[in-house]
Amino acid sequence: MSAAINALLACIRSNCSIQSHIGKSFSMAQYGNSVIAILAGQIANKAANHAEFKPISENSGFYTGGYLGPFDVSLVALVICGCFSSVLWEENYGGESSSNDDANSKPKSSAIAALIGAFKTTMRNPDILLCGIISSLFEGSMYIFVFMWTPALTALTKEELGDDFDGLPFGVCCMAGSSIFSIAMEKLKPEQLAVFVFGTATCAFGLVVYAGSTTSGFIAMNLFEMTVGMYFPSMGTMKGMIVPEGQRSAIYNLFRIPLNLIVLFSLLTDLTPRVSFILCGTMMSIATILQIKLKARRSSR
Report residue 229: phi and psi, to 5°.
Answer: -65, -30
Q: Is residue 92 part of a domain?
A: no
Q: Is residue 28 part of a domain?
A: no
Query: Is the pTM value of this prediction over 0.75?
Result: no
pLDDT in the model for residue 216? 84
- Residue 58 counted as domain residue: no
In a domain, 104, yes or no: no
Is residue 21 within 8 Å of 11, Cβ to Cβ? yes
Residue 228: inside a domain: yes
**Residue 64, phi then psi, degrees to nearest 5:** -140, 165
Contacts of 173 (CB under 8 A, 6+ apart): 222, 223, 225, 226, 229
Alpha helices in the chain (DSSP H): 2-13, 18-50, 69-88, 100-104, 111-124, 126-161, 174-184, 190-209, 214-242, 248-268, 273-299
CA distances (Å), 223 to each of 8, 204, 292, in order?
27, 6, 21
- Total domain count for the chain? 1
Where residue 215 sits, what CATH number does that domain have?
1.20.1250.20
Half-sphere exposure in the Cβ direction for 176 (13 Å, CA): 9
Task: Give the structural domain span for 293.
Answer: 109-300
Cα 35 to Cα 177: distance, rounded to the nearest angstrom: 12
For residues 122 and 13, give the distance between their C-alpha atoms in angstroms, rounded to a whole number.
Answer: 36
User: What is the structure's pLDDT at 259?
Assistant: 92
Instruction: Tell me if 33 is assigned to some domain.
Output: no
The answer to the question of residue 236 being in a domain is yes
| CA Rg value for the chain | 22
Picking from 225, 202, 201, the residue whose alpha carbon sits closest to that of residue 153 is 225
Residue from 289, 298, 300, 297 nearest 195 by CA:
289
Task: Specify if 7 maps to a domain.
Answer: no
**pLDDT tens by residue, the chain, 301 residues:** 444 444 444 443 444 455 556 667 777 777 777 777 778 777 887 888 888 887 777 777 777 888 888 888 888 889 998 999 888 887 655 444 444 444 444 454 577 888 888 899 999 999 999 999 999 999 999 999 988 887 777 776 666 655 555 555 454 677 777 778 878 877 888 899 999 999 999 999 999 888 777 788 888 888 998 898 889 888 988 988 899 888 888 899 899 999 999 989 988 888 888 899 999 999 999 999 999 999 999 887 7
